[in-house]
Amino acid sequence: MKMLTRLITDELPFFLACPALLWQVVFLYIPFFVLAIYSICDYSAVTGTYFLTGSYYSDIIHSLCFKIILRSFFVAILIAAICFIIAYPVAYYLAVKSGRRYKTLLLFTLILPSWTNLIVQTYAWFFLLGKNGMISVLLQRIGLISPSFHLLNNYFSIIVGMVSCYLPFMILPIYAVLEKMDKQYLEASADLGADRFETFRRIVFPLSLPGVYAGLLLVFIPSFGEFAIPSLLGGSKYAFWGSVIVDKFLKSRDWRSGAALAFIGVMFPIMVMGLTYVLLRGKKIVQRYRQSHHDGLNGNGSAKEFWG
Amino acid sequence: MKSIRLERVSKSYDGELILDNLNLEIPTGQFFALLGPSGCGKTTILRLLAGLEHVDSGKIYLGDQDITNVPIHKRKINTVFQQYALFPHLSVFENVAYSLRIKRMSDDLIKAKVSELLKMVRLSGFESKMPRSLSGGQQQRVALARALISEPEVLLLDEPLAALDLKLKEEMLLELSQLQDKLKMTFVYVTHDQFEALTVSERMAIMNVQGDIEQLGTPKAIYEFPVSRFVANFVGNTNFIEGKLQISSGKYSVEVDGLGLFSVYTPVEKLWMIPGCRLYVSVRPEKIFISKSPKEGFSNHMAGKVIDIIYYGRSTQYRVKLRNGLYVLVFEQNEEHFPQENIDYDDEVHLYFQKENVVLLEH
Amino acid sequence: MVDNRQYFWRFLNPIVVAIAYLFLYMPIIVLVLFSFNDAAFSVSWVGFSLRWYKKLINSPEIISALETSLIVAIVTTFLSLLVGTFFVVASRWWRTSMLGNIFYTNILLPEIVLAIGILSIFNFFNIPLGYGSVIAGHTLLGLGFVVPIVKARFVELDPILTEASLDLGATYLQTFRKVVLPLLMPSIIASGLLVFTLSMDDFLISFFCSGPTVQTLSVYVYSMIKTGVDPMINAVSTCFLVISSILVLVLCSLKVVDHVISYE
Q: Which chains lie within 8 Å of chain C at 3 or more CB pairs, if any?
A: A
For residue A116, what pLDDT is reported?
83
pLDDT of residue B363: 83
Give the angle subtended at the CA of B45 by the CAs of B40 and B49, to the nearest 5°.
170
Q: How far, in Å, CA of B17 to CA of A73, rounded?
A: 60
Contact between residue C225 and residue A232 where contact means Cβ atoms under 8 Å apart:
yes
pLDDT for residue A301 is more than 70: no
Nearest to C83 among A19, A123, A127 (CB): A19
Within 8 A of A200 by CB-CB distance, chain C residues are none
Q: Nearest chain A residue to B94 by CA: give it.
A: A296
Q: Do A121 and C27 touch (CB under 8 A)?
A: yes
Q: To the nearest whole angstrom, how far is the Cα of A19 from the nearest Cα of chain C?
A: 6
Same domain, A14 and A151: no
Chain A CB within 8 Å of residue C34 CB: yes
Is C86 within 8 Å of A20 when comparing Cβ atoms? yes
User: pLDDT value at position A307?
Assistant: 24
A176 within domain boundaries: yes
Q: Are A229 and C203 in contact (CB under 8 A)?
A: no
Question: Is C25 part of the contact surface with chain A (CB cutoff 8 Å)?
Answer: yes
Bigger pLDDT: C164 or B144?
B144
Please tell me which residue, A287 or A174, carries the higher pLDDT value.
A174
- Nearest Cβ partner for A184 among B81, B89, B90: B81
Q: Please provide the average confidence, as pLDDT, over all residues in chain A.
A: 79
Element (H, E) at B248: strand B239-248
Nearest beta carbon to residue C90 from set A16, A121, A169: A16
Closest CA to B183 of B139, B158, B215, B152: B152
Judged by CB atoms closer than 8 Å, whether chains meet at C264 and A32 is answered as no
Q: Which residue of A has its CA nearest to B74?
A: A193
**How high is the pLDDT of residue B317?**
94
d(CA B129, CA B112): 18
Are A204 and A83 found together in one domain?
A: yes
Q: How many helices (H) and strands (E) does chain A have?
A: 16, 2
Number of H helices, E strands in chain B: 8, 20
pLDDT at residue C166, as a whole number: 77
Q: What is the pLDDT at residue B215?
A: 93
Query: Higher pLDDT residue, B356 or C173?
Result: B356
Q: How far is CA C228 from the centre of its chain?
A: 27
A2 and A95 both lie in a single domain: no
Q: Is residue A58 part of a domain?
A: no
Measuring CA to CA, which residue among B155, B127, B164 is closest to residue B142?
Answer: B127
Q: Are strands B31-35 and B186-191 parallel, antiparallel or unpaired?
A: parallel
Cβ of C116 within 8 Å of Cβ of A227? The answer is no
% of chain A surpassing 70 pLDDT: 85
Distance from CA of C83 to the nearest CA of A (A): 5
Contact with chain A for residue C131, Cβ under 8 A: no
Say yes or no to pLDDT of C145 above 80.
Answer: yes
One domain, residues A44 and A188: no
A306 touches C at CB < 8 Å: no
Range of A174's domain? 63-306
**Subunit contact A207:B88, Cβ cutoff 8 A:** yes
Portion 117-176 of A in contact with C at CB < 8 A: 117-128, 130, 132-134, 137, 163-164, 167-169, 171-173, 175-176
The pLDDT confidence band at residue A303, using thresholds 50, 70 and 90, is very low
| Closest CA–CA distance from residue C205 to any residue of chain A (Å) | 11
Give yes or no for C33 touching A (CB within 8 A).
Answer: no
pLDDT for the residue numbered B271: 86
pLDDT in the model for residue C245 = 83
Using a threshold of 3 CB pairs under 8 A, tell whether chains C and A touch: yes
Chain B hits for A184, CB-CB cut-off 8 Å, are: 81, 83, 85
Q: Based on the structure, what is the number of domains in chain A?
A: 2
Flag if A296 and B101 touch (Cβ within 8 Å). yes
Contact status, residue A198 vs residue A186, Cβ threshold 8 Å:
no
Task: Say what the alpha-carbon torsion angle A229, A230, A233, A234 is, to the nearest 10 degrees.
Answer: 180
The band of C260, judged by pLDDT with boundaries at 50, 70 and 90, is low
Question: Cβ(A181)–Cβ(B85) under 8 Å?
Answer: no
Residue C162 CA to residue A285 CA, distance in Å, equals 40
pLDDT score, position B117: 92
From C97, C87, C105, C252, select the one nearest C184 (Cα to Cα). Answer: C87
Give the model's confidence band at A304: pLDDT under 50 very low, under 70 low, under 90 confident, else very high: very low
Q: Which residues contact C228 (CB under 8 A, 6 or more apart)?
A: none
Under CATH, which architecture does the B239-362 domain have?
Beta Barrel (2.40)
What residue type is assigned to position B140 of the chain?
Q
Beta bridge partners of B213: B207
A59-73 average pLDDT score: 82
Q: Class of B4-230 per CATH?
A: alpha beta
Distance CA C13, CA C113 (A): 38
| CA pseudo-torsion sign B110, B116, B121, B123 | positive
Nearest C-alpha of chain C: how many angstroms from A289? Answer: 30
Q: Give the residue ranges of chain B where pLDDT is below 50.
A: none
**A touches B (3+ CB pairs < 8 Å)?**
yes
Residue range(s) occupied by CATH 2.40.50.100 in chain B: 239-362
What pLDDT, in 10s, does the model give residues A268-297?
Answer: 888 888 888 887 765 554 444 333 333 233
In A, which residues are within 8 Å of B88 by CB distance?
207
Helical (H) or strand (E) element with C185: helix C181-201
Cα–chain-centroid distance for residue C205? 13
**Contact state of A127 with C34 under an 8 Å Cβ cutoff:** yes
Contacts A–B by Cβ distance under 8 A: 80
- C201 to chain A, minimum CA–CA distance in Å? 4
Mutation pick from A180, A185, A191, A198 vs chain B, by most beta carbons of B within 10 Å, is A191
Q: In what order do the strands lie in the sheet with B251-256?
A: B260-264, B251-256, B239-248, B278-283, B358-362
Q: Which of residues 190-219 of C touch A (CB under 8 A)?
A: 197, 200-201, 203-204, 207-208, 218
Asked if residue A293 is part of any domain, the answer here is yes
CATH of domain C59-263: 1.10.3720.10
A5/A96 same-domain check: no
Q: Which pTM does this prediction carry?
A: 0.80
Mean pLDDT of A10-24: 80
For A243-271, the pLDDT digits (tens) are: 888 888 888 888 888 888 888 888 888 88
Q: What is the pLDDT of residue A300?
A: 32
Q: C2 pLDDT band (50/70/90 cuts)?
A: low
Q: Quick check: is A273 in a domain?
A: yes
Q: For the segment C67-100, what is each residue's pLDDT rounded down to a tens digit?
A: 889 999 999 999 999 999 988 888 877 766 667 7
Q: How do the domains of chain C map onto residue ranges?
A: 59-263
Residue type, C3: D
Closest CA to A251 of A229, A236, A267, A232: A236
Position with higher pLDDT, A62 vs B127:
B127
By the 8 A CB rule, do C87 and C147 touch? yes
Confidence of residue C247 (pLDDT cuts 50, 70, 90): confident
Give the pLDDT score at A125: 86
Of residues C149 and A139, more confidently modeled: C149
Q: What is the mean pLDDT of residues C129-144?
A: 90
In angstroms, the separation between the Cα of residue B315 and the nearest Cα of chain A is: 42
Tell me if the bond preceding B219 is cis, omega within 30° of 0. Answer: no
- Cα–Cα distance, A208 to C17 (Å, whole number): 19
Q: Is the domain of A163 the same as that of A71?
A: yes
pLDDT at C96: 63
Q: Locate CATH 3.40.50.300 in chain B.
A: 4-230
Looking at per-residue confidence, does C189 or A140 come out higher?
A: C189
Q: Which chains have 3 or more CB–CB distances shorter than 8 Å to chain B?
A: A
Alpha-carbon gap: A287 to the closest alpha carbon of chain B (Å) = 8
Judge contact between C241 and A116, C-beta under 8 A.
Answer: yes
Helix (H) or strand (E) holding B155: strand B154-158
Q: Give the residues across from B362 on adjacent strands.
A: B279
